Amino acid sequence: MNYVDGFVAAVPTANRQAFIEHARKAAVVFKEYGALKVVECWGDDVPEGEVTSFTMAVQRKPDESVIFSWLVWPSREIRDQAMARIMEDSRLSPEANPMPFDGKRLIYGGFEMVIDD
């Protein structure tokens, strides 16, 4: 079954277009190295929580929006091989494609799919 990398971050709302351009450039690279699908979402109904929430997890500031993204890979093995090469790809270097948000507050993880209906 496929493997998924998930991401949540806070992006300055003023950087929406810069984020979209950043994500488009990155998507080309991810797909070139084997990702089956790249999905980038801009939050528009992300409620504040009392105990936990997306906004709390990324320490969203009043002038920021939450993004939620995922990559679908054929397998974890292919993802692991691809990520090693992706991290060395100059097209994703901070100089070539700077992140328009605070990467220290990016939450990410890899997930084994157990249901895909």
Each residue's pLDDT tens digit, 25-72: 999 999 999 999 999 999 999 999 999 999 999 999 999 999 999 999
pLDDT for residue 62:
96
Helix, strand, or coil (residue 11): strand
Look at residue 65 in the predicted model and tell me its pLDDT: 98
Instruction: State the Cα–Cα distance between residues 72 and 76, nearest whole angstrom.
Output: 10
Tokens of 13: 């709302």
Q: What is the pTM of this model?
A: 0.92
Which tokens in the block code for residue 64? 């920021």
- For position 101, what pLDDT does the model report? 95
Percent of the residues in the chain that have a pLDDT greater than 90, as a whole number: 97
> 60: how many CB neighbours lie within 10 A of its CB?
21
d(C-alpha 76, C-alpha 53), whole Å: 27
pLDDT at position 8: 98
pLDDT digits (tens, 9 = 90+) for 77-99: 999 999 999 999 999 999 999 99
